[in-house]
Amino acid sequence: MSLELTAPAPDAPDVAEDGVWLADIETGETYAPFDEIRYTGEGGNLLEVRYAEPPTFEDFQGQGRGVWRYRAALPFEEGVTLPEGDTPLHEAPRLREDVGVETLRIKHEGMNPTGSFKDRGMTVGVRVAKELGVGRLACASTGNTSAALAAYGARGGMETLVLLPSGKVAAGKIAQAALHDARILEVDGNFDACLDLVQELAARGEVYLLNSLNPFRLEGQKTIGLEILEEFRDDYGRFPDRIVLPVGNAGNTSALYKAFRELVQSGALDPAEVPKLTGVQAEGAAPMVEAIENGWADTQRWEEVETRATAIRIGNPVNAPKALPGIRGTGGTAVAVSDEAITEAQRDLAREGIGVEPASAASVAGLRKLRDRGVVDAGEDVVCLTTGHLLKDPDAAFEAGGKPEPVPNDLDAILDHIGAN
C-alpha cells in the first residue's frame, strides 16, 4: 500500500464503520476498526486508521481548541479528555538569530496535562479501549507514555499496568504513574525488552496495548501537525518549511506525515506546502539516522543504546516503516547529535524561558547541526518540536543548570557576593 504524499484518498471498504477502517500498510488488507482488538496486520505489518472523507481546514472551524477541535480527522467525536492539546508555539528570538534562520518557533508539547505529547495519543487510545470493552491498559515506557496512560486510564476508570526499564526512567515520570495509581513493573532490561514483554501480554489477551504500535494512538498525535499548520499560517500567512522533531519510536514522525497526507488527499494542502520532516536522535540511540543515511527501507535494531535523553533511548523504533517514507516523502532528513549538544540546546531553550527535558532539546541541537552543515538554509521557516516538560527529568535539569550559591544570613554579605557593593 502506497504511503506516498500524493497517493489518492482510498475508497471505503465494506468493513468500514462510519467511514473509518484499519488498513495494513504493506498489503492493503482492510479490517473493521472496533469488531476486535487488532494492533497489526498479518505477519505483524503495521496498520493505519483510514477515513472515507479526509479532513479540510474548514472542517476544524468553530470546533473549539485542543485535540478534539480536529474531530473531523479522528475516529470519534470525543475522547477520554483532561483536556489536551492547544500547546504554545513559542517565539525564541535570540535562539533564532544565533542559529540563523528566517523564522524559528518552538512547539512546546510539555504544556499538555501530564507534561508531554503522549496525552494527545491517550485521549484517543483510551476512548478506543472503552469502545472495545477492555478493562486493563498497558504500555512499555521510557516514562512519558506511562505517565500519560496512568492519568488517562485513571480518568477512564480503568486499571493500568506499565513496564519500565529498571533504573533507566526519570524520577518525575515514575512519580506521575505511581500517583495516578498505575501498577509499575520494573524490568531488568531496556525499553525494547519491555515492549517485547508487553506485546506478549497483549497477544495473550491480558492487556490492551497503548504503545505507538497501536494505530489509534497516532491519530491523536496527528493533531500536533494540524495545530502547527494552523498556528503558523495564522501568524505568518504561510506554512513552515521544516518541522524538526526528536525521534524515539518514530510515532510523531509517522503521525505528522499522516496528517499532511490526509490534508493533501482532501485538497486542503498542496504537496509543495508540506513541511520537511526532519528527525533528530541521540548518537547513542540512532537507528533511524542509520537507516536514512544508508537508504534502508527499515531500521536495524540496536541492542545497546545509551543517552541522557531518556525519552528517546530506544533501539528498535516500531514505527520506522511509516516514518521513513515520511522523512523521504517530504524532502526531510535525519541527524544524530551528542548528549553534550542536547544539554547545550536545553540551556539555550531555558534562556528563552522554555523549559524542556533533554530529549525535547534534541530538536534544537539537530537544527543547529544541520544549519552548520548547510542542510538547512538561512531563509527557512522552522518549527522545532519539544516533546516533554522540564520537570519530567529534574535531575537532568539540575545538572544542566547553575548550582546554588551558599551565602551567609546577612544582607551586606549577599550584596558583596552579587557584586552590588
- Asked if 37 and 44 touch (Cβ cutoff 8 Å), the reply is no
Rounded Cα gap, residues 264 and 225, in angstroms: 13
What pLDDT sits at residue 1?
53
The pLDDT of residue 266 is: 98
Which residues have C-beta within 8 Å of that of residue 79, sequence separation ≥ 6? 67, 68, 123, 124, 126, 127, 220
What pLDDT score does 108 carry? 98
Place of cell 500536533: 224
Annotated binding site for pyridoxal 5'-phosphate: 144, 248-252, 387
Report angle CA 368, 372, 377 to the nearest 5 degrees: 90
Which residues, at least 6 apart from 192, have a Cβ–Cβ distance to it below 8 Å?
A: 301, 314, 315, 316
**pTM of structure:** 0.95
User: Within the chain, which residues score under 70 in pLDDT?
Assistant: 1
Q: Which of 135, 192, 143 is nearest to 160 (CA)?
A: 135
Report yes or no: 278 and 243 within 8 Å, Cβ to Cβ: yes
Task: Spell out where 311-407 has E strands.
Answer: 334-337, 381-386
Domains of the chain: 89-115+215-400 (3.40.50.1100), 118-209 (3.40.50.1100)
Q: Collapsing DSSP states into helix, strand and coil, what is residue 78?
A: coil
Query: How far is Cα 260 from Cα 255, in angstroms, rounded to an integer?
Result: 9
As annotated, the binding site includes 144, 248-252, 387
Q: For 76, phi and psi rounded to 5 degrees?
A: -135, 165
Give me 3's grid cell: 504511503
Contacts by 178-183, CB closer than 8 A, 24 or more apart: 178/150, 179/150, 180/147, 180/150, 180/151, 180/153, 180/154, 181/150, 181/154, 182/146, 182/149, 182/150, 182/153, 183/159
Residues near 85 by Cβ (< 8 Å), separated by ≥ 6?
A: 65, 66, 67, 68, 69, 112, 119, 120, 223, 227
Residue-wise DSSP of 148-180: HHHHHHHHTT-EEEEEEETT-S-HHHHHHHHHT
Tell me if residue 113 falls in helix, strand or coil. coil
Contact 387, 251 (CB under 8 A): no
pLDDT recorded at residue 227: 98
DSSP-derived secondary structure letter, 112: S
Dist. CA 367–CA 279, nearest whole Å:
10
Beta bridge partners of 51: 20
**pLDDT (tens digit, 9 = 90+) per residue, 334-375?**
999 999 999 999 999 999 999 999 999 999 999 999 999 999
> Nearest CA to 380 among 275, 263, 228, 279?
275
Alpha-carbon gap, residue 372 to 374, rounded angstroms: 5
